[in-house]
Structure 1
């Protein structure tokens, strides 16, 4: 509104000055045009006819002839000549001088010596002053009306345009109070505020998604801690029971050796579980790898040879033509393949078959002829402490950390571990860059 007031003031002053300058220039030009007409007619018509022709339309004429006769015409005919000397003789005609309009108050005049005498033309600018005053009043009233109308329109338009900001404020407070599902959904969405409201909705979706993921991660961590505590409690309870039986009872030699063997077995199981939990923590934090050239074909043969020396399913190795050397941590890759082979042997039983296929480009597939994995559990088996058969023996089934550790180590290398859809048995594909 301040800017609009300044603009209207500048406009009014400019219009007033330009209009006054143009009208005054037109008055002066009219007098000069009448002088030119009089000069052209001086030798062709009589003095009285000359005065009658150039007088009128607001221009007064006063012609003083050489013999002292004064001829007048127009509204100011009785006005004295600006250059006449009262009571003195009439000036004699002389050479023509440059025409110059003189101003005295509101009266504009111009003199010209003609062969018939001295010609004086005058006009009054009083009407012009009144017209300019009326124009100023009209400009002032119009500007005031424009300001009032602008104030009303600015108030209405500002309220309408900024209403989404009030909606955003209300929505933000509702979300802060716990209503995470509130959204702006601007209409129309293609305005500046509409695009800002759309970006606000996108941000809320991202924040709500991040909050949901954080809560899910917190729930997974809580479940993981509970499962880990439960897994550790079982071997510790076995160690405690065996130790109490040794201390409180008087078992024979065979019973004592059995109890001691149970203590060792359960403590080893608790130690393996603790090592797996520590390894999972290192993987989450970023496990350090000692990379070097690794021949996956030789590594698979070593893993198969080690597994064959233990009772269980037969393990064989096959390879396709092409290079199988990658930059990786040999110990960690061996751990991944060992976990996959152990899982396959447990799934197939003593009469099953496990095969390692080494392909080019850092690809190893560990396949078995066991019962396979249900489609609904293809991704769940990579979660921590998940066993498909919760009722089976933990000694045989493990704690459910083998596959999560294997996938974590594969991704730490920049690769991945996934379950292939083969139709029969289970086939895990390890890819390394």
Structure 2
């Protein structure tokens, strides 16, 4: 159209009447300059590029801040060696995934350090304590081999068997110590009252050559705990055997519920344990220089095993003050509420 301005238009067509041959009126309006030129496309393209760059930079910063603690954990783990497990990874505050990862890694390192410490102690104890019975066994066998005519074979064989029995006892106790608290055995709900009663019955017969020791018990019925049956039997055997071996005439056993704990006391009327020696008796292979020194043939690990088992079951084993003799007190967490009824006398 002559005189018309070039450019893009917005056109609207409207029929005058609904008839098929109705005239159509067309009207047009030039588009704004920003819509009819490439400026808008350029601005949109520039905005998309800028937003994409901003999103990438933000993502890089967020991921970097998130993975920074992970890299710190990796670097610290790389520094930790078997010879030195005392280091721990840095823990971030909060309860997000990275913080939980750090806490889990440190808990794993704690268990690993305990396991390595147990292994080192096992090797040290075995090397120290097995030397004597092995040497005795070797002397007996060498004497029998070098002087077969002058050696009483039966006597030498019995001496060798005693050394072998002691070796077997020490190895069994050391293996038990290494196993306690590792999770190798599954804990289960147990009736501590029945377990104590059974152990008392097993300890009632007196040792050969010794006067009968009376064991008096007062047990609260239905005290429930959670533990490994074989380990708790060995735990109870330690104080009971110690009291029975050193009692002059009687042993007192009492089991009560004290709040959320079961309290078992084993007291004897023997010579007692000096105050300064009460912690040492729980050490491995400890000999107390008193009238309660270890009987011949013992491994010196009974009370050490008992305390380790108590700790593995979240309990304690201590020696308390007593008017006469020694008084061992074992405390373990209980499961059920205190039952009705009085304690049972035996």
TM-score with structure 2 setting the length: 0.60
Residue 427, structure 1, aligned to residue 294, structure 2:
no
Q: Which residue, 123, 138, 143 being the options, matches 1:245?
A: 143
Report the structure number with the largest CA radius of gyration: 1
| Higher normalized helix content (fraction of residues) | 1
Residue 285, structure 1, aligned to residue 184, structure 2:
yes
Residue 102, structure 1, aligned to residue 1, structure 2:
no
Q: Distance in 2 between matches of 1:326 and 1:211?
A: 29
Give, in angstroms, the shift of residue 214 of structure 1.
0.9
Q: Which residue, 268, 284, 295 being the options, matches 1:386?
A: 284
Q: Distance in 2 between matches of 1:148 and 1:407?
A: 71
Q: Which residue, 120, 123, 133 being the options, matches 1:225?
A: 123
Q: Which has the higher contact order (CA 8 A, sep 6+)?
A: 2
Q: Which residue, 250, 263, 266 being the options, matches 1:366?
A: 266
Residue 210, structure 1, aligned to residue 108, structure 2:
yes
Report the equivalent of 2:216.
Answer: 317
Report the equivalent of 2:35.
Answer: 136
Q: Is the 8 A contact 1:293 1:328 kept in 2?
A: no
CA 1:395–1:184: 2 relative to 1, 3 Å: closer
Give, in angstroms, the shift of residue 217 of structure 1.
0.8
Point out the more displaced range, 235-244 or 337-346: 337-346
Q: Distance in 1 between matches of 2:149 and 2:294?
A: 27
TM-score with structure 1 setting the length: 0.50
Equivalent pairs, count: 303
Give, in angstroms, the shift of residue 210 of structure 1.
0.6
CA 1:315–1:339: 2 relative to 1, 3 Å: farther
CA deviation string 1:377-427 (max 9, x = no partner):
59x94xxx724558976847624255536865998xxx7763257444442
Gaps (5+ residues) in structure 1? Answer: 1-16, 33-96, 107-124, 190-194
SS in structure 2 at match of 1:137? coil
Give, in angstroms, the shift of residue 236 of structure 1.
1.4
Residue 306, structure 1, aligned to residue 208, structure 2:
no
CA 1:202–1:377: 2 relative to 1, 3 Å: farther
Q: Is the 8 A contact 1:314 1:354 kept in 2?
A: yes
Report the equivalent of 1:53.
Answer: none
Give, in angstroms, the shift of residue 429 of structure 1.
2.6
CA-atom RMSD in angstroms:
5.5
